[in-house]
Structure 1
Amino acid sequence: MSANKLKTFLVFNFIIPASFFIFAIYFMPIEQVFQFDTSDEGIELIKATLHLDGFAMYTQVWNDQPPLFTVILASWLAWFGKSIYSARLLTLSFSTILVWSFCQTLRIYLGNLPAIIGTLLLIISCNFLRLSVSVMIDLPSVAMVMLSIYTLSLYKKNVAQKFSKILIVISGGLLALSLQIKLFTAFIAPLIIFDLLQFTFKKNPQHQLKRQLFFNAVLWLTACLGIFIIVGILCNSLTYEQLLQSHLNNNVKTVFQAGYSQKLTLLFLLQDFDYLLLAILATIIIFQKKQWEKYFPIIWLITGFIVLINHQPVWYHHYLLLSIPLAWLATYGVTLSFNFFRQRKWYAKFKPRNFKKITVSGLAAGFVIFSIIVTPIKLGVIILENHRYLEQSQEHIQFVNILLKYKPSTKWVFTNCPIYAFYSGLPVPPEIGVLSRKRIESKTITPEQIIAVFETYHPEQVLLCKSQTIQNYLNSYLNQHYLNTYGNHLGNHYLLKETALKPLPMTNDK
């Protein structure tokens, strides 16, 4: 390997991913912030804790998501300790895989310099850094998708080489792993199959076409379905009722209105408006020049947008389904400006008298300059949000301290905010490990079932975050059996009356 090739190899396979990993650790307060997400972080942490304690998912622990991330997180916590810092490093590791595979894919399609630029665009895109350090399943799932796409890109680049078809199998398997983390990437599978069919059709001679055209697509799909089913059998996750029914329930669609989903999906694109301008320009040029080898992020972006505006509910973390193809297309838009910036005194071209003579390259350059101008604003917003998370953390810690105060006499804690249970090291009944708003609104858990949890486990402590529905379910029962010891705008803490009458056990804590 020549010195230049070795240098390039090190830059793209070690320096760039390592730099991102280190930057995220120092830029994002991953150890100091109590929670980056008010619901999902706690749910993922408590599911992993329950799994680690031996409770079975889908039978003992109700779970409306695939199991793979829970299994990985549980093992990770067993190896590196049950801490929020450790758990967030796992998500950051997945994010580093995403950044690396995205960068490598751009290298194949656009070259080295655009790959570096595109990676920077992705990193500073809206909510990417936040999701990179949040204990949530969305980013790990998308990371496996991007790795699948990169693997397939390697196949297309090395199609003539021996054993290249193993890359098709690996790509299908990686997409299956993505689906076993979260099912929201399912719409990308037919896009990949279509891309593989289009590539095979273009590369093969006519007399081999029929056999070869469908063989590659069937091979990819077989690998995807095979790995998905194997993981499902091993984790007992092939359950329609929990994985799909709670998401498709009509009650959910009524509570989470379509209009809100549509507005939020449109807002996603406006949050990275500079990328959108570059992406639109890139899309126009791709169609004008019929550069069909570059169409994949276009159909990904359009399909993802259609899926989201028709999905209920839509959350901020769903933006990953749009931000990655948007950053990909924006990178292509940046490359259109290269010829303009190579000119001597290019800045003189932006004088008002030259606007009528503006070229595509000049227009792209203008969008690039606009993106450079707004980048400090984006980073400033991230800093302000981090500061807000840090300020809120003190209020959350107050509830954890209350749980810890009564921990010696507590066997179970009932809460609809399980992140407090994770921080305090207290177990929750497995039936209510996932007590999300979606589960409540979809009626997959009823008031009678919730009361039954109390009758079975007799939790010594109850911590309810603000939820009018849960409060209405439990008001009468709590008033009869529990004392309200503390409350603020975040929620209320209750103590079992029998426990409140007992003296606290002595501890050796100093």
Structure 2
Amino acid sequence: MNPNRIRKLILGTQFSYIDFIIPLLLAGSILLLAPIAADCEFNTDEGINLMKAVLYGQGFALYQDIWNDQPPVFTIALSFWMSLFGNTLVSARLMTWALSFLSIFSFYQLIRLQFGRMSAFFGALFLINSYQFVDLSVSVMIGLPAIALMLFVVYLLVSSHSAFTHKGQQTRRLAAGFVLALSLQTKLFVSFLMPIILILVLPLGRNFRIQVDRKSLSQLLQFFLLVLSTYIFISLTSQSLNSYDQLVATHVSAREVLGYQHKTLFFMLRKGWLNDYYLYILAGLGCFFAVRSWKLFTLVPIVWILGFLVTFYNHYPVRLHYYTLLAIPMSWLAAMAVYHSTVMISNYIANRFAASNNDRSTIVTSKSDRLYGYLFNVLASLTVLLTIYSISLEIHRSVVYQHSFCEQPIDAEIVSRLREYPKGVDRSWLLTDRPIYAFYAGLLLPPETAVFSQKRISVGSLDSKEIIRILEEYKPEQVLIGRFKELLLNDYYFQKYLQDNYLKTPIGEELEYYTRVDRRSDRGIRNERYL
């Protein structure tokens, strides 16, 4: 093969069909690693998100009927997805996987534009193998989808820069503006990247000076108007603008909740280091090369990391799945280190050949020598990096298949018991703090309890008085308590209400199961003494 073609294939930056196939294969490997069909919750948020989507599909309105402390896009998208592909856990997880593919594709293209295919390939490998990325790629949670959309925005803005293309620049910027609004309406924790978005949108010239002219100002105005109008449109149609208590107050109040203080940035960084120590080291080397080159796009991952550290330094809880926000720029810098190391090794080998031929004034001109240098360089990089990757991959695979990420298994016997219970005339309701069981059994939750979380209970927006009011209003045929069993069953009023209106049925050690009994003829009358 022609050495130039080999070099173009490995180090080329022009888009080719292979640049779609490689990210697809990498994303496909996740399906082999992750237990996507496992009957367990990777996180209790899975059950919450699934039931919010089911209730939304049944006609209940977000924020008005369905209590929801997150922006609306993921719930709406998941409801639409399941209406097309079925209300199953695997179907919902495949939607998250599709968005994971979008993140891998966007990240790969970002690296390819700057450093070529080989560095892009390794950068994507680093990202996939980072702590919890595989698990989050098939978890019905909103974090990774929001990150994937934001990463796609960064790719669109970088690719629209004149350094990479002169066609369709404004079209890409406008598309990025629309997707940016979707990302912010999926989960707001990606908003710390707005300074990077601003840097990429501004018409910067050499030495990072803003080049102001009528055309650039017009394009900038169009971009932000599109972001703002799309964001407001989604807020108006979902009625989230009037939901301050759910969207903002709950999260602000949760900062003072006892027990969250240990979930800090440093705790997350320590967990990340234990799993991705090699990525930290390579990212450090990448920082050296980025500062040395002092170019706009090579400094973006450093700004990203600094923004993340500043934003979450005094924030809690910093959950472990936030780590992906840090793994992305670290993988970016690691890919940069791979590229510059490759170039340095290649130049060193070429100079050695030149020296051996008594020609120190020029780089190797022989095609065979260049080919040998490139192949030696690639093989050396592959050997070292794939060794690191294979070791960490084996560790990760063993963790995945031991289901250490499965917080709670789903008991098939309990699901069967819930399904077999006689259904109500109109709708069959189940009150539970484990909404995944309602999803599996095909039952509905009272929409006010779709989010039955520690955060909500701790801040007082879901106390025993509110739960009793909901029980009186919906009169669910079954009650299943698990996560907050000790807290709820030790409450006198809640326990008294269950004793008067429900019959306890043995079902296991971890869950308490109750079925409704009608002992009074005035069952439809509101029982005020519990409220």
Partner of 1:478: 498
Alignment pair present for 1:398 and 2:413: yes
Match of 2:315 among 279, 291, 311: 311
Q: Tell me, in whole angstroms, the C-alpha distance in 1 between the residues paired with 2:437 and 2:404.
A: 16
Partner of 1:202: 206
Match of 1:182 among 181, 187, 193: 187
Alignment pair present for 1:449 and 2:455: no
Q: Tell me, in whole angstroms, the C-alpha distance in 2 between the residues paired with 1:368 and 1:438.
A: 47
Which segment is superposed worse, 219-228 or 369-378? 369-378
Distance 1:200 1:278, change over 3 A: same
Match of 1:10, as an amino acid? Answer: Y
Partner of 1:225: 228
Distance 1:29 1:108, change over 3 A: same
Match of 1:497, as an amino acid? Answer: V
> 1:195 deviation in Å?
3.6
Which segment is superposed worse, 482-491 or 308-317? 482-491
Contact 1:253 1:313 in 2 (8 A): no
> 1:213 deviation in Å?
6.4
Partner of 2:342: 338
Contact 2:208 2:296 in 1 (8 A): no
Alignment pair present for 1:320 and 2:337: no
Match of 2:323, as an amino acid? Answer: Y
Match of 2:55, as an amino acid? Answer: L
**CA-to-aligned-CA distance 1:155-211 (integer Å, 9 cap, x gap):** 1146873552222222122111001111111111122103433x52439998x6365
Q: Which secondary structure does the structure 2 equivalent of 1:82 belong to?
A: coil
> 1:415 deviation in Å?
0.5
Contact 1:68 1:181 in 2 (8 A): yes
Contact 1:200 1:213 in 2 (8 A): no
Partner of 2:238: 235
Alignment pair present for 1:10 and 2:17: yes
Matches within 5 A, 1:263-274: 263-270=266-273, 271-274=275-278
Partner of 2:129: 124
Distance 1:404 1:278, change over 3 A: same
Q: Tell me, in whole angstroms, the C-alpha distance in 1 between the residues paired with 2:218 and 2:334.
A: 34
Partner of 1:31: 37
Q: Provide TM-score, normalisation by structure 1.
A: 0.85
Partner of 2:151: 146
Contact 2:286 2:337 in 1 (8 A): yes
> 1:301 deviation in Å?
1.2
Alignment pair present for 1:89 and 2:77: no
Alignment pair present for 1:286 and 2:304: no
Q: Tell me, in whole angstroms, the C-alpha distance in 2 between the residues paired with 1:370 and 1:89.
A: 29
Match of 2:88, as an amino acid? Answer: S
Distance 1:439 1:75, change over 3 A: same
Match of 1:241, as an amino acid? Answer: D
Q: Tell me, in whole angstroms, the C-alpha distance in 2 between the residues paired with 1:277 and 1:294.
A: 17
**CA-to-aligned-CA distance 1:192-244 (integer Å, 9 cap, x gap):** 103433x52439998x6365665554443222212111111122222322211
Distance 1:10 1:393, change over 3 A: same
Match of 1:429 among 441, 446, 449: 446
Partner of 2:306: 302
Alignment pair present for 1:51 and 2:56: yes
Match of 2:112 among 99, 107, 114: 107
Unaligned runs of 5+ in 2: 350-376, 520-531
Q: Tell me, in whole angstroms, the C-alpha distance in 1 between the residues paired with 2:392 and 2:66.
A: 43
Structure whose alpha-carbon radius of gyration is higher: 2
Distance 1:426 1:296, change over 3 A: same
Contact 1:413 1:459 in 2 (8 A): yes
**CA-to-aligned-CA distance 1:262-285 (integer Å, 9 cap, x gap):** 332322441311111111111123
Distance 1:255 1:287, change over 3 A: same
Q: Which secondary structure does the structure 2 equivalent of 1:495 belong to?
A: strand
**CA-to-aligned-CA distance 1:37-91 (integer Å, 9 cap, x gap):** 1x11001100000001110111011111111111111111111111111111111
Taking every aligned residue pair, what percent have the same amino acid on both sides?
A: 31
> 1:399 deviation in Å?
2.4
Q: Which secondary structure does the structure 1 equivalent of 2:131 belong to?
A: coil
Q: Tell me, in whole angstroms, the C-alpha distance in 2 between the residues paired with 1:159 and 1:335.
A: 18
Match of 1:23, as an amino acid? Answer: S
Partner of 2:362: none
Contact 2:14 2:113 in 1 (8 A): no
Distance 1:435 1:394, change over 3 A: closer
**CA-to-aligned-CA distance 1:316-362 (integer Å, 9 cap, x gap):** 21112111111111111222321465467xxxxxxxxxxxxxxxxx9
> 1:7 deviation in Å?
11
Q: Tell me, in whole angstroms, the C-alpha distance in 2 between the residues paired with 1:168 and 1:425.
A: 43
Unaligned runs of 5+ in 1: 345-361, 500-510
Distance 1:27 1:293, change over 3 A: closer
Contact 2:24 2:105 in 1 (8 A): no
> 1:419 deviation in Å?
0.7
Distance 1:269 1:157, change over 3 A: farther
Q: Tell me, in whole angstroms, the C-alpha distance in 2 between the residues paired with 1:274 and 1:388.
A: 24
> When the two structures are aligned, how many residues end up with a matched partner?
475
Matches within 5 A, 1:408-423: 408=423, 411-423=428-440
- Root-mean-square deviation (Å): 3.1
Alignment pair present for 1:71 and 2:61: no
Contact 1:201 1:209 in 2 (8 A): no
Distance 1:394 1:184, change over 3 A: closer
Contact 1:172 1:220 in 2 (8 A): yes
Q: Which secondary structure does the structure 2 equivalent of 1:242 belong to?
A: helix
Q: Tell me, in whole angstroms, the C-alpha distance in 1 between the residues paired with 2:127 and 2:422.
A: 43
Q: Tell me, in whole angstroms, the C-alpha distance in 2 between the residues paired with 1:58 and 1:383.
A: 41
**CA-to-aligned-CA distance 1:432-483 (integer Å, 9 cap, x gap):** 1111111111222332211100011111111112313333343232233222
Match of 2:499, as an amino acid? Answer: N
Q: Tell me, in whole angstroms, the C-alpha distance in 2 between the residues paired with 1:368 and 1:126.
A: 22
Bigger helix fraction? 1
Contact 1:175 1:224 in 2 (8 A): yes
Partner of 1:469: 487
Which segment is superposed worse, 91-100 or 224-233? 224-233
Contact 1:57 1:63 in 2 (8 A): yes
Q: Which secondary structure does the structure 2 equivalent of 1:148 belong to?
A: helix
Q: Tell me, in whole angstroms, the C-alpha distance in 1 between the residues paired with 2:225 and 2:259.
A: 36
Q: Provide TM-score, normalisation by structure 2.
A: 0.82
Q: Tell me, in whole angstroms, the C-alpha distance in 2 between the residues paired with 1:407 and 1:255.
A: 41
> 1:310 deviation in Å?
2.0
Match of 1:372, as an amino acid? Answer: T
